[in-house]
């Protein structure tokens, strides 16, 4: 089944696709509560990514972006992903009232 699954899955697009879907979800679920100005609906997001585990398959725009080879490129992509999450929280004015926990088993 692994080969069939990989035929449907582009590892190089994973980081971008996952990030885009998470940002869309956050934007949708952080809408104004009961249309009252200044209030937001609380939500929980678990953003799990295979970055920075094997296989190191950074997105096309991140290949060659570091001086640390493919592993460094993959970390650069992960850094971009976290940055996009934080940028979105800022745009939605949620950063001051949001708990962000970044953890890794590495």
C-alpha–C-alpha distance, residues 61 and 97, integer Å: 32
56-100 confidence digits (pLDDT tens): 788 999 999 999 999 899 999 999 999 999 999 999 888 888 888
Res. 1 pLDDT band, cuts 50 70 90: low
Kindly state the percentage of the chain with pLDDT values over 70: 89
Q: Any idea what DSSP says for residue 30?
A: T
Task: Name, in order, each residue with C-beta under 8 angstroms of 53's C-beta and a sequence gap of 6 or more.
Answer: 106
Per-residue pLDDT at 35: 57
């Amino acid at each position: 089944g692994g080969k069939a699954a990989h035929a449907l899955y582009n590892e190089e697009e994973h980081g971008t696709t996952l990030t885009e879907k998470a940002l869309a979800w956050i934007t949708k679920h952080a809408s104004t509560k009961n249309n009252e100005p200044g209030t937001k609906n609380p939500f929980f997001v678990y953003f799990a990514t295979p970055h920075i585990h094997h296989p190191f398959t950074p997105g096309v725009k991140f290949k060659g972006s570091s001086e640390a080879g493919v592993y460094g490129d993959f970390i650069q992509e992960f850094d971009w992903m976290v940055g996009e999450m934080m940028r979105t929280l800022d745009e939605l004015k949620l950063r001051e009232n949001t708990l962000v926990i970044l953890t890794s088993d590495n």
